[in-house]
Amino acid sequence: MTTGNHLADPAATALSACLSGQVLRPGNDDFALELDGFNLITEHDPQLIAVVDDAADVRHAVAFAADHGFPVAVQATGHGPSTAASGGLLVSTRRLRGVMVHPAARTARVEAGTRWYEVIHAAAEFGLAPLSGSSPLVGVAGYTLGGGLGLMARRYGYAADLVTALEVVTADGQFRRVTADRDAELFWALRGGKGNFGVVTALEFDLVPVGRLFGGGLFFPGESAGEVLHAWRAWTEGVPDEMTSSLALLRLPDVETVPGFLRGRLTAHLRIAYLGPAESGDRLIAPLREAAPLIVDTVGEMPYTRCGEIHNDPCEPIPYNERSMMLRELDDAGADMLLKLAGPGADCIDMVVELRHLGGATGRPPAVPSAVDHRDAAFALSTVSLPDGRPPLVVDAMAPWGTGLRFLNFLASPDTAGLARSGYAPDTWARLRAVKARVDPDNLFRFNHNIPPAPAT
Ligand SMILES: Cc1cc2nc3c(=O)[nH]c(=O)nc-3n(C[C@H](O)[C@H](O)[C@H](O)COP(=O)(O)OP(=O)(O)OC[C@H]3O[C@@H](n4cnc5c(N)ncnc54)[C@H](O)[C@@H]3O)c2cc1C
């Protein structure tokens, strides 16, 4: 079997000669291993993989793809696949690791293959934190370029709101550093438009002064889902921006990797992340603790480095569909509809039905405008289901409460590939298509939630 530098294919050999990283083609020892990612639902089948070591490798790989007419896919961790790469070149960024924290400026510079836990730990040394999300294993680049809805979202906004610079290789093979002052339109589009405009090689963003938080989970038996949902929904109306919370209705399988108290039953899981002292946190969540008899309560003071314990997302790869819908409001009737679809006794295929409370800073425009819409959403609804052939119903049935838009970070699987347009308001979509026409007129970067270039006028 051949590996990296001894390739029979002339195209692969030519690319291999330019890279300090590796070029893999089907049949190479590491080809399948390199394609492995977290969500196994999308099976990429590229002609070549460029395992890049640095930004120069990315430049060579993209220029090579453009010359040969190969469409380009990008994968870091495989947490958010949509359109499968069918042929073409897959740029694997997983070796592009590195975090540099500038404590005085409260900023971080992060290479594109880095996962959140690496930034969280590097920033924590200085009492700082990034706007990371529920799972520290998720990749910084895909998360942030898709908006990034994190654990402190109501206090600090979307992760994309704090980005100050992006380094990107565009379809012409050029390396560009874009900021609010340097190609402001591309900077606007990249923050929200995700992988449509090039391969990002590094990101710079502000950190926030958070070392500890009051957080964890409150677990209730499924029979109490109605009381818990109604109590939480009413409670969200009066909480300060320092409180970011979510509710998940969990139907987890009866398997060993799932904690005993969650196995094979319906559970309601409230997640709390509060940026304030434990005493006021305890006071704030008292009505939630009293909503119904608790099974498990893990809420308490913790360092931000333990933030992954708030949601306790799975770590092992599985295949699943993820859907989403932004809700404009959730009134009593909406909550009742959700319970009918996913509460006790419902024939619901979703393992997870999650509501994240928005508002606060997510409802305010960022200092530098971006392509992240959803400022009018009150809740983000998302569902996760195993691919069992049945249609997922919950999200679409909640459309009467929806803003009409979906959060693209919470859409995964090839079935969702055609839904990119639903991630944006019509003006944003038209503007994104215009930027795409300028920087990627041949739609080289199309294995994603694709934004097609605007037609030439
Ligand atoms: C367990 C879990 C928890 C999550 N929690 C949250 C959360 O709290 N908040 C939230 O907002 N999202 C969350 N997500 C969604 C996640 O942010 C997206 O799936 C994101 O796309 C993952 O990025 P990745 O690089 O890890 O994944 P990948 O599958 O490797 O990449 C996904 C896509 O991102 C783009 N991309 C990645 N890297 C680059 C790059 N360097 N340049 C250009 N494009 C790139 C590409 O289009 C690629 O197809 C979660 C997902 C999972 C599975």
Same domain, residue pair 233 and 173: no
Whether 444 maps to a domain, the answer reads no
The total number of structural domains in the chain stands at 3
Query: Which residues pair with residue 245 across a beta bridge?
Result: 272
Whether 24 maps to a domain, the answer reads yes
Q: What is the mean pLDDT of the chain?
A: 95
Ligand 1 centre to CA of 141 (Å) is 7
* Cβ pair 336, 230 in contact under 8 A: no
Same domain, residue pair 246 and 147: no
Distances in Å between the Cα of 410 and the Cα atoms of 3, 108, 147, 383, 417 are 36, 25, 10, 8, 12
* Cβ pair 324, 411 in contact under 8 A: yes
Same domain, residue pair 250 and 325: yes
pLDDT of res. 1: 33
Our mutation pick for probing the ligand 1 site, out of 53, 79, 97, 372, counting the most ligand atoms within 8 A of Cβ, is 79
Asked whether the predicted pLDDT for residue 2 surpasses 70, the reply is no
pTM: 0.97
**Phi, psi for residue 158 in degrees, rounded to 5:** -75, 150
* Cβ pair 99, 59 in contact under 8 A: no
Ligand 1 centre to CA of 441 (Å) is 24
Q: Hey, whose CA ends up nearest to atom 14 of ligand 1?
A: 409
Ligand 1 surroundings by CB, under 6 angstroms: 37-38, 74-81, 93, 112, 133-135, 138-139, 141-143, 145-150, 194-195, 199-200, 313, 409, 412, 448
Whether 5 maps to a domain, the answer reads no
Averaged pLDDT, 266-278: 98
pLDDT digits 0-9 by tens, 375-398 = 999 999 999 999 888 887 899 999
Ligand 1 centre to CA of 58 (Å) is 19
Worst-scoring range by mean pLDDT, 96-100, 392-396, 431-435, 439-443? 392-396
Looking at the chain, the whole-number percentage of residues with pLDDT higher than 70 is 98
Averaged pLDDT, 418-434: 97
**Phi, psi for residue 423 in degrees, rounded to 5:** -85, -5
* DSSP designation for 283: H
pLDDT of res. 68: 92
3-state secondary structure of 200: strand
| CATH number, residue 254 | 3.40.462.20
| CATH number, residue 27 | 3.30.43.10
Same domain, residue pair 166 and 296: no
Asked whether the predicted pLDDT for residue 4 surpasses 80, the reply is no
pLDDT of res. 314: 92
pLDDT digits 0-9 by tens, 113-151 = 999 999 999 999 999 999 999 999 999 999 999 999 999
Q: Which structural domain, as residue segments, surrounds residue 104?
A: 99-209
Ligand 1 centre to CA of 199 (Å) is 13
Same domain, residue pair 382 and 240: yes
Cα distance between residue 152 and residue 51, in whole Å: 33
Worst-scoring range by mean pLDDT, 166-170, 175-179, 257-261? 257-261
Q: Which atom of ligand 1 is nearest to the CA of 73?
A: 49
Domain-ending residue, one of 75, 92, 109:
92
Cα distance between residue 442 and residue 437, in whole Å: 8
Our mutation pick for probing the ligand 1 site, out of 74, 152, 447, counting the most ligand atoms within 8 A of Cβ, is 74
Same domain, residue pair 31 and 133: no
Domain-ending residue, one of 92, 112, 131:
92
Domain-ending residue, one of 74, 92, 110:
92
